[in-house]
Chain A
Amino acid sequence: MNLSGDIWVWVAAILTLAIMSYLYKDNPIYKFAEYLFVGVASGYYLSIYYANVMVPNLFTPVGDGVKALGGGVWTWDLWRLVALVLGLMLFSRLIPKFGWPSRWPMGLLVGAYSGLAIMGFAQGDLLAQLQDSLIPIIDKSALSAFGDASGMTNKFLAFLNVLSHPILIIGLLSTLYYFFFSQEHTGVSGKVAKVGIWFLMISFGASYGFTVMARVTLALDRLRFLFGDWLGLNIL
């Protein structure tokens, strides 16, 4: 064991343990760390907005614009002031019963992002995904790969690949059917919807598996920090 001599590692370790203490139960040490985190994070965000957005995209251009105006020239830079005024109108929300000026900038932002979303979802998701779903039912290359595969395991995996195209098509259609035909699912219609649900369940299972992977990685990282960087134990 070779305890860290770096004060900042100690700070990080103590805060890590303070947050972890929540696993035992909610307690004042955890609460202290939680509030400290929100404070530090808020201050961090504000500073980054100032340094990375306000200064380069607003203050500097407006400053340049004002200088040019001194020389009698109106430049594009000065239009940025409109954004400042609209942005400040957002703050009217903080005043009770006087929130309406915030609707102007909200209107602009909602309009802009709705316009972008329409094109993005149409181009990026809807068209591209539909287009890519127009595939032949029989995948010839998978068939020939199945013929060439040797050994039980490879044969099995190659067989699955032969089934890939039909399963993709059935899965997509039945799941879409389940989404869009909301009448009572009985008879043939009910069976198709049922298949759609099965596909959804498999995909939720896959997502669950990947979520577990993500969470375990995060826990692993903190333990590695505590055992390795802080306690200086000889770990991998």
Chain B
Amino acid sequence: MLKREVPLLITILVGWFMVIEYFFPGAEKWSSELQNWAIIMTALASVLGVANVARINMLKISRKQKDWGYSVVLMAGMILMVVLGTLFPMIKSIFGIESSWTLAGMELSGVTSGTWFTQFYDSMFVPMQGTMFALLAFYIASAAFRSFRIRSVDATLLAVAAIIVMIGRVPIGDVMWSGMSGLSDWIMNVPNLAAKRAILIGAALGAISTGLKVIMGIERNFLGGD
């Protein structure tokens, strides 16, 4: 009962509430309260994700598993950011400390500009995430050379559309032929759009039917086994 029926009932009630609320936007106070709960709960779900990363890596360190040294690096980075961004502000607010804690001219506590937290964000988070995505440019080049084979009508259409769009979306296209950007724009707005619209409509029908199954209690896979 507590394991299956209650969660299912919660899903059904909340789901229908959200749908009905669209048509009858009364019950403002309750709907806003419910949505605030969802905000807090989704945030806690994300915290759960971080907690899981920490747990896995702590286990790796304590069991001295392969590559445990890297887990130490990971935990050091995480703890550093949590101390600056969570622990210090927490201490400050609990004890009502108003003064700033500075080191080398930068504030130690908090997440906004001028803090050590933001400095680490700027010089670690930003370049590393940016570079990870930048690597994909090189892999897409390698795939273009080694695997993009034009062997059928379908593949030819794909390749021709891709090439026109690639040239037409940058200034060099119009240098080659003055109609290039116009042609690529037409592809985007007509044949591409026709197919994308069909995909959108198909996906919408799929999403609506899945959603209805969930809030009618037919689809219950998200509750897991037993």
- Please report A residues at the B interface, Cβ cutoff 8 Å: 8-9, 11-13, 15-16, 19-20, 22-23, 31-55, 57-58, 76, 79-80, 82-84, 86-88, 90-91, 93-94, 99-100, 103-112, 114-119, 121-122, 125-126, 129-130, 133, 153-154, 156-157, 160-161, 163-164, 167-172, 175-176, 179-180, 196-213, 215-216, 218-219, 221-222, 225
Contacts and interface: CB of A to CB of B under 8 A. Distances in A.
Contact of A172 (B14, B138, B198): B198
A35 B15 contact: no
Contacts of B208: 117-118, 121-122, 126
Contacts of A16: 127-128, 130-131
Contact of B179 (A54, A115, A117, A156): A156
Given A126-B201, A161-B186, A198-B157, A46 B50 contact: yes
B37 A44 contact: no
Interface string B131-148: 111111110100010000
13 contacts: A33-B128, A38-B77, A58-B40, A107-B10, A112-B14, A114-B215, A119-B18, A126-B204, A129-B197, A157-B183, A157-B186, A179-B198, A216-B137
Contacts of A211: 140
Contacts of A125: 200-201, 203-204
A115 B136 contact: no
A201 B51 contact: no
Nearest to A107: B7
Contacts of B75: 39
B138 A219 contact: yes
B40 A57 contact: yes
Main secondary structure of the interface of B (DSSP, over half): helix
Contacts of B175: none
List the 5 closest A-B pairs by CB distance, nearest first. A47-B85, A43-B81, A171-B194, A115-B18, A39-B77
Given A44-B81, A176-B198, A86 B123 contact: no
B177 A51 contact: no
Contact of A129 (B3, B15, B200): B200
B121 A121 contact: no
B81 A40 contact: yes
A121 B209 CA distance: 10
B43 interface: yes
B169 A210 contact: yes
B161 A83 contact: no
B206 to A, nearest CB: 9
A164 B211 CA distance: 35
B208 to A, nearest CB: 5
Nearest to A118: B211
